[in-house]
Structure 1
Amino acid sequence: MTKIRMIDVANQAKVSKSTVSQYLNGRYSHMSEKTKEKIRMAVEELNYVPNPIARSLKSDKTKTIGVIVRDITGFNTSRVLRGIDDFCKQAGYNVLIYNTDFDEEIEKRSLLALRQMCVDGIIITSTGKNSDLINQYTSSGYPVVQFQLEYQHCQTDIVLSDFKQAARQATEHLIKLGHKRIGFMTQDFESSVSRKERYLGYLEALKAHQIPFEKELLNIWDRKAGFEISPIEQLHVKNPPTAFFTQHLAITVDLLKVLGEYQIEIPQQVSILGFDEIPMVDMFKVPISVIQQNSYQLGVESATLLLNRLDKSSDSMEYKKVVVPCQLVKRSSIRMNEL
């Protein structure tokens, strides 16, 4: 099949190639209606589709951005993507999405591929393992916006939920219901500022209510290995936790599987509060209380930061951080602890 070129449209309409180019770029205020109609009909008859890459070589913009996520099927990630896509559509930008499956090498290849495809900028939720490459991009003036997770040595514009305040609010909610031994289930947080913020919020709430932190209540969860300590073992010690506070949807799901397998009743035997909304939670026998992130707004704010960066005539190295509030959603997975 022969590829239709701009010159073919010009020959069909009997106008110059530059006139066709002006028409395609919307610069036809001084063009006669007859000329516009001839070009429109030629484009339609030849089924001509402009080459965005060729056009970008002249305009220095592809009107396309890249988005790199760790799990495209994630409940919150899908809503972030919707926010990004909706905002970009309104601004006339296209979105290319890359999925990494939490693999740092795939993430690196995605960053390189999108740069080679001349996307105007990148939005990423990173593994934290490609900070040098991301810093190389931003130091050269190439716009990158991170969302969801913050890493200490990765300097970009970033959009985050208010993790510390949300974790403190959740912990205080449990404390006000009489829970003093609250199990804190989290991924390793030493490399991630955002994960540590949740931990600090938890500690702040305990301190504010004069409850000493007990190390045995901290349970580290790994995506492959699962829980460092079995939640069932935690519940069978002399002075067990009366509530578990999980810091990620995947942790909550694994916890519920373990409790279900051992027929642990919620909230009669242990109360549960999770970070992140759970799909179809209203269908659960016991709907789980959660800290709900405003994922759609995270997407909108990420796209806004990136497009604002693109629209600036001079690139400022002063990076911006946007913090989006979370919401505590109270359901029936927490009971009053009267002990």
Structure 2
Amino acid sequence: MKKVRIVDVATHAGVSKSTVSQYLNGRYSHMSEETKQKIKASIAELNYVPNPIARSLKAEKTHTIGVVVRDITGYNTSRVLRGIDDYCKKHNYNVLIYNSDFDAAAEKGALQSLKQLCVDGIIITSSGHNSELINELMGAGMPVVQFQLEYPNCRSHIVTSDYQNAAFQATEHLIKLGHKRICFMAQEFTNSYSRRERYQGYLDALNKHGIEADDALLHFWQRESSFAKDPVELLKTDNPPTAIFSQHLAITTDLLKAYHNADIAIPEQVSIIGFDEIPMVELFKVPVSVIKQDSYQIGHETAKLAIQAIKGQLDSPKHTVVDCEFIERQSTCAI
């Protein structure tokens, strides 16, 4: 089927192309009622649908925001995206979503594509490997808002959870149950402020209660290779941890699988607190205590910052911090 163009509507109605354009943009105060009805009838008969992107490009605004995430299927990410989409719809902005699959090259390609599509702004949870490109985009006038992960070499608007205070609460909860050997299990800190803030909250709680930090209780996990040290073997050492504070849903999931396969009793043999809510946790034999991020609110605040930046309402980079909630369940006990 041949695409109907604005010139086709003009020819059918017997008016000029500019007259049809004025009608479509609501500028018909000086247009006769007969002309308006002709154009309206031609649009209906030809089934003409205006191209919103083409029209907005002429006005130098697309009312579209690009969003780049690492895993669109992630439990928290999906809720962040819902918060972004709901807020954008309410304020008449469309959302384009790109999935990077934790790949820096894919993330770079997504950013370049969004630039070519002339989006009004970009929201991203960054890998930290494309900071130079993000800085270039911002330098060229593109509003950028990051969320979840903050990096020192990329100072954009950003929304994060209150990581340090949340980690402090979880660690202090374990300390008050009598635990002093608390393992902090995380991804490599690299240059991420957000990951270091969690560790600092853990250290703050130890320090408050006079417990000396032990480097032997800091253990790392990688997405590709899982744990640097087997968590089952960790419990067999001479001075094992009595509790584990996991810093990511994927880490908590791998940890629970390992202990289930080894018949490790939770919390009798080891207490566990995870950072991030776990899907269908109520169905677990032992529901896990967690730090729950308000993912929907993070999305809401991120979209809010993006639209404010697009409208030129922010003079300098703004950092919005969203509170977390500690949810106590049955995976911890006193010793």
Superposition TM-score tier, normalisation by shorter sequence: over 0.9
| Cα deviation, residue 310, structure 1 | 1.0
> Residues 130, 205 of structure 1: CA spacing in aligned structure 2 closer, same or farther, 3 A cutoff?
same
| Cα deviation, residue 34, structure 1 | 5.2
Partner of 2:206: 206
> Residues 187, 310 of structure 1: CA spacing in aligned structure 2 closer, same or farther, 3 A cutoff?
same
1:321 aligned partner, one-letter code: H
Kindly provide the CA deviation profile for residues 84-110 of structure 1, in whole angstroms up to 9, marking residues without a partner as x.
Answer: 111111111111100010000000010
Using the TM superposition, name which of 104-113 and 23-32 deviates more: 23-32
Structure 1 unaligned spans of 5+: none
Please give the secondary structure, in 1, of the residue aligned with 2:254: helix
1:256 and 1:99 map into 2 onto residues whose CA distance is 27
* Aligned pairs for 1:318-329 within 5 A: 318-329=316-327
2:258 and 2:36 map into 1 onto residues whose CA distance is 67
2:234 aligned partner, one-letter code: Q
2:298 and 2:44 map into 1 onto residues whose CA distance is 39
| Cα deviation, residue 53, structure 1 | 3.3
> Residues 29, 335 of structure 1: CA spacing in aligned structure 2 closer, same or farther, 3 A cutoff?
farther
2:307 and 2:10 map into 1 onto residues whose CA distance is 33
1:86 aligned partner, one-letter code: D
Partner of 1:15: 15
Partner of 2:238: 238
* Aligned pairs for 1:1-339 within 5 A: 1-28=1-28, 31=31, 35-312=35-312, 316=315, 318-337=316-335
Percent sequence identity is 62
Using the TM superposition, name which of 5-14 and 81-90 deviates more: 5-14
> Residues 5, 323 of structure 1: CA spacing in aligned structure 2 closer, same or farther, 3 A cutoff?
same
2:16 and 2:184 map into 1 onto residues whose CA distance is 69
Using the TM superposition, name which of 173-182 and 4-13 deviates more: 4-13
Please give the secondary structure, in 2, of the residue aligned with 1:160: strand
| Cα deviation, residue 76, structure 1 | 0.2
Using the TM superposition, name which of 182-191 and 6-15 deviates more: 6-15
Please give the secondary structure, in 1, of the residue aligned with 2:114: helix
2:251 aligned partner, one-letter code: I
Using the TM superposition, name which of 8-17 and 291-300 deviates more: 8-17
Please give the secondary structure, in 2, of the residue aligned with 1:274: strand
| Cα deviation, residue 285, structure 1 | 0.7
| Cα deviation, residue 29, structure 1 | 5.2
Please give the secondary structure, in 2, of the residue aligned with 1:184: strand
Structure 2 unaligned spans of 5+: none
Please give the secondary structure, in 2, of the residue aligned with 1:269: coil
> Residues 150, 170 of structure 1: CA spacing in aligned structure 2 closer, same or farther, 3 A cutoff?
same
1:55 and 1:115 map into 2 onto residues whose CA distance is 18
2:254 and 2:29 map into 1 onto residues whose CA distance is 61
> Residues 27, 172 of structure 1: CA spacing in aligned structure 2 closer, same or farther, 3 A cutoff?
farther
2:80 aligned partner, one-letter code: V
Give the TM-score normalised by the residue count of structure 1: 0.95
> Residues 278, 27 of structure 1: CA spacing in aligned structure 2 closer, same or farther, 3 A cutoff?
farther
2:278 and 2:34 map into 1 onto residues whose CA distance is 58
1:31 and 1:208 map into 2 onto residues whose CA distance is 75
1:325 aligned partner, one-letter code: D
1:293 and 1:83 map into 2 onto residues whose CA distance is 13
